Amino acid sequence: MSGLIQSLVSMDATNLDREFLWSIFECLQEGVFAIAEDRFIMVNPALCELLGYDREEIVGKAFLEVIAERHREMVFNRAQARIRGESPPNHYEIALIRQDLSEILVHIKVSTFKLADGSIVNVGSTRDISGERRALKQLQHSEQEFRRIVENLPDIFYRTDHQGRIKMASPYAAEVMGYQLEELIGQPLANFYARPEEREATLSKILQGQGEMVPVESCLRHRDGSIVWVSTHAYACFDENGDFSGVEGVARNITERKNLEERLRHMAIRDPLTQVYNRFGFEEKLDDAINRARRNKSSIALLFFDLDKFKTINDNYGHDVGDRYLAAFAKRMEIGFRETDTVARLGGDEFVALLENLECDETVYNLLERCVTALSDPFVTDEHTLIFQYSYGIAQYPKHGTDAEALLKFADQAMYLDKSNQALIV
């Protein structure tokens, strides 16, 4: 066999030193071998270590002895096919038997050569993949466990790719949104936002977390068109190159909580009798309007209304008629002004209207005239027909004041001046 070894070492070594090639052979980290007449004739240290043998113990050994029995027939048949000049697969995964009789899974690649003396030699390399297989099985097991958790999660789970398309979602996510699970997969998450343009701001906030959990609330649209609110803890995912690869998040359906908050908010800022804004809600609106006007260098107007002789209505017709009279007055004001204008009841028989987006002073008086027209028809209830009697005052920002208190005070004084003039006329 020494002649075969010498011939093998001299293969394709025309321009290279044989000692140099042998050093490479010895230093390779993959197990390398040569087989002739069904026996090992060369092995490198890496193969010896892989199988647990000394070199002297394995050289001359029948190669099938180190092949797991279940793989021997396949390996033998492929070796014979290569000798016959056929081209069976030359790389595959098999189990080898180590000296201690344990098995090790390897990836093997084999080539067949015919030497100058006519001898046939099979040369191959092996790589231990048992660790990779264990890791893969653990990963598959972990993935299966993860999917079982997701499938039974009582909350919404979702995963998107870098383009925002849904890659994975829990069955509960589909249930909350009114879809079948397969209808969600592959769809852009933004498609399910009630206001799709808000997705960009949400994503920007998640990206700022740099992989840390970020709490966000999102307003989504159910399949039937209704609103679904979710509270999400999401984080951005990055690949091994540091590039953004998508988002993962767990969300909870908070629609009921949001609806309750909205009802409480409505109760806090609305007058229960007339359903227009109360003083608290109006003051918020007025502060916001003043801030906008200051930024935009625009004007706003405040119209203060006070019902005349309202106590007489309560005294003559009862509080039930008085309450309906107040509600009707508020409704007429809403009809008279624009949808963008704010009508409020400050308390008792005092009402106010906040007008924004005014082109000029004339716009204020045009809108006032519309309101007066809406209030001109009498209030009819049961057998009673009552006319709306009121006084009003106007204040404009910034002409009559630059804060809420100053504007309200000026409008209130203007209203009392109007009331005094009417009293003189009477």
Please give the model's pTM, rounded to 2 decimal places. 0.51
- pLDDT, residue 331, reads 95
Give a yes or no: residue 64 inside a domain: yes
Which of 204, 238, 259 corresponds to the end of one domain? 259
In a domain, 208, yes or no: yes
Please indicate, yes or no, whether residues 24 and 63 belong to a single structural domain of this protein: yes
* Same domain as 139, residue 96: no
**pLDDT class of 416 with cuts at 50, 70, 90:** confident
Confidence check: pLDDT of 240 > 70: yes
Long-range contacts of 273-277 (CB under 8 A, 24+ apart): 273/323, 273/326, 273/327, 273/345, 274/326, 274/327, 274/329, 274/330, 274/331, 274/345, 275/327, 275/330, 276/330, 276/333, 276/334, 276/343, 276/344, 276/345, 276/351, 277/342, 277/343, 277/344, 277/345
243 and 274 share one domain: no
**Domain co-membership, 124 together with 139:** no
Q: Domain for residue 265, yes or no?
A: no
Q: Could you tell me if 147 and 124 lie in one domain?
A: no
Total tally of structural domains belonging to the chain = 3
Domain that holds residue 177: 134-259
Give the residue from 128, 143, 173 where a domain finishes. 128
Mark whether 122 and 141 lie in a shared domain.
Answer: no
Beta-bridge partners for 228: 220
Confidence of residue 247 (pLDDT cuts 50, 70, 90): very high
Do 419 and 275 have their domain in common? yes
Q: What is the CATH number of the domain that holds 184?
A: 3.30.450.20
**264 belongs to a structural domain:** no
Computed over every residue of the chain, the mean pLDDT equals: 86
Structural domain contains residue 420:
yes
* Residues 317 and 334 grouped into a single domain: yes
Q: Is residue 83 part of a domain?
A: yes
Residue 144 and residue 109 share a domain: no
Question: Considering the domain boundaries, does residue 239 fall inside one?
Answer: yes
Q: Tell me whether residue 21 is in a domain.
A: yes
What does the pLDDT look like over 294-317, one tens digit per residue?
Answer: 998 999 999 999 999 899 998 888
| CATH for 389 | 3.30.70.270
Task: Place 138 in a pLDDT band, splitting at 50, 70 and 90.
Answer: low
Do residues 182 and 301 share a domain?
A: no
More confident residue, 119 or 275: 275
Q: Which of 199, 230, 259 is the last residue of a domain?
A: 259
334 and 207 within one domain: no
Whether the per-residue pLDDT at 19 is higher than 80: the answer is no
Whether 424 shows a pLDDT value over 50: the answer reads: no
**Whether residue 403 is found in the same domain as residue 388:** yes
Lowest mean pLDDT among 134-148, 239-253, 276-290, 339-353: 134-148
> Residues with Cβ < 8 Å from 55, sequence gap 6 or more?
43, 45, 48
Q: How confident is the model at residue 146 (pLDDT cuts 50, 70, 90)?
A: low
